[in-house]
């Protein structure tokens, strides 16, 4: 029997994968084909508050706007809440606010489902271990499993059919000089979301055959780069991994090309800067925007090269949050 508190609130950061999750081996539970590794974006993410719905009807509020129950986002949130409350009668208001600048063109599903999981854990006083919270968040959105933690995070694919061993955990490495720059090419809603994109790639792309082994190698290399404190190795591997993932997408049918002309122009600018000796790398997800990886000493230069660059310091002292203790 669940016992709810008056209200609960939690924050979870957005995250950027350095070794990507692409492809599900099981669709309902979001079990991945490969393990992945990311860095969380400190203060950029989602705040989610849960309170009882006195009206008796569930309500989902996104950035201050009440959504009707049939909007896909609200329906997804409500079925996720049902994982926790089951048949018990607990009508809720789920109030989520994303502080990710829309200009950054970042998806908010990872931080959103992670924050919702943390808030539900508090609201129903479940005191679940972090790894179990991560496995739950994964069921909302795969990458949300990583947003339960700060810093560098690894999501191990696991082997069990129930998915309980498919969760993330934080890596004990801190890189205070690391900067992530968000280059906005477009904030338009993507035509093919990640679920549909993965399905199409797995089913139709011949190149996808090579992806699991590539991802496993890249994960190993990034691990080693973290141990060796080797930024160049980390950046180069992350960029190569993202391009390899996009190659599998492009080889799908119908072709899946998330890039726009401006994305390619930004890639070429990164490569030109590297030729000129600036240590900057990029990664890209299922959308047209680039995420740059560089060191604090090059921030000014990169802000000049990319005028609208939104810069995040994942390991800055003032952005450390203890996710588990951010309750109200």
Positions in the binding site for ligand PMV (CB under 6 A): 17, 20-22, 36, 107, 109-110, 141-143, 194-195, 285-286
Please state, in angstroms and rounded to a whole number, the distance separating the CA atoms of residues 178 and 16.
13
Please state, in angstroms and rounded to a whole number, the distance separating the CA atoms of residues 328 and 236.
41
Is the backbone peptide bond immediately before 18 cis, with ω within 30 degrees of 0? no
Q: What is the DSSP string of 126-150?
A: ----HHHHHHHHHHH-GGGGGGGS-
Q: How far is the CB of 300 from ligand PMV (least distance, A)?
A: 29
Q: Which is nearer to ligand PMV, 143 or 244 (CB)?
A: 143
Q: How far is the CB of 272 from ligand PMV (least distance, A)?
A: 25
Q: How far is the CB of 259 from ligand PMV (least distance, A)?
A: 13
Q: Which is nearer to ligand PMV, 113 or 315 (CB)?
A: 113
Q: Which is nearer to ligand PMV, 17 or 312 (CB)?
A: 17
Q: Which is nearer to ligand PMV, 168 or 226 (CB)?
A: 168
Q: Which is nearer to ligand PMV, 107 or 280 (CB)?
A: 107
Q: How far is the CB of 32 from ligand PMV (least distance, A)?
A: 8
Please state, in angstroms and rounded to a whole number, the distance separating the CA atoms of residues 256 and 204.
11
Please state, in angstroms and rounded to a whole number, the distance separating the CA atoms of residues 44 and 55.
32
Long-range Cβ pairs for the range 194-197 (8 Å, 24+): 194/107, 194/142, 194/285, 194/286, 195/27, 197/249, 197/256, 197/258, 197/286
Q: How far is the CB of 143 from ligand PMV (least distance, A)?
A: 3
């Amino acid at each position: 029997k669940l016992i709810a508190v008056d209200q609960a609130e939690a924050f979870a950061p957005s995250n950027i994968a350095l070794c990507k999750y692409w492809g599900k081996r099981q669709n309902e539970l979001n079990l991945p084909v490969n393990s992945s590794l990311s860095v969380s974006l400190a203060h950029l993410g989602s705040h989610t508050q849960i309170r009882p719905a006195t009206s008796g009807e569930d309500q989902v509020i996104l950035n201050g706007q009440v959504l009707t129950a049939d909007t896909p986002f609200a329906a997804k949130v409500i079925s996720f809440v049902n994982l926790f409350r089951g048949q018990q009668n607990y009508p809720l208001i789920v109030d989520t606010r994303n502080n990710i600048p829309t200009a950054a063109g970042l998806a908010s599903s990872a931080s959103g489902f992670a924050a919702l999981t943390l808030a539900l854990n508090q609201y129903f006083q479940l005191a679940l271990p972090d790894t179990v919270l991560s496995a739950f968040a994964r069921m909302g959105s795969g990458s949300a499993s990583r947003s339960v933690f700060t810093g560098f995070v690894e999501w191990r694919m696991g082997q069990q059919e129930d998915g309980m061993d498919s969760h993330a955990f934080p890596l004990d490495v801190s890189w205070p000089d690391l900067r992530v720059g968000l280059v906005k090419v477009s904030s338009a809603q993507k035509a093919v979301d990640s679920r549909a994109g993965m399905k199409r790639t797995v089913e139709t792309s011949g190149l996808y055959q090579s992806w699991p082994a590539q991802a496993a190698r890249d994960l190993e290399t990034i691990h080693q780069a973290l141990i060796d404190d080797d930024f160049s190795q980390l950046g180069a591997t992350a960029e190569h991994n993202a391009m390899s993932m996009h190659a599998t997408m492009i080889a799908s049918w119908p072709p899946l090309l998330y890039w726009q002309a401006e994305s390619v122009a930004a890639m070429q600018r990164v490569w030109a800067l590297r030729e000129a000796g600036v240590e900057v790398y990029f990664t890209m997800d299922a959308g047209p925007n680039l995420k740059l990886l560089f060191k604090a000493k090059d921030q000014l230069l990169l802000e000049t090269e990319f005028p609208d660059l939104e810069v995040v310091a994942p390991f800055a002292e003032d952005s450390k949050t203890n996710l588990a203790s951010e309750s109200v």
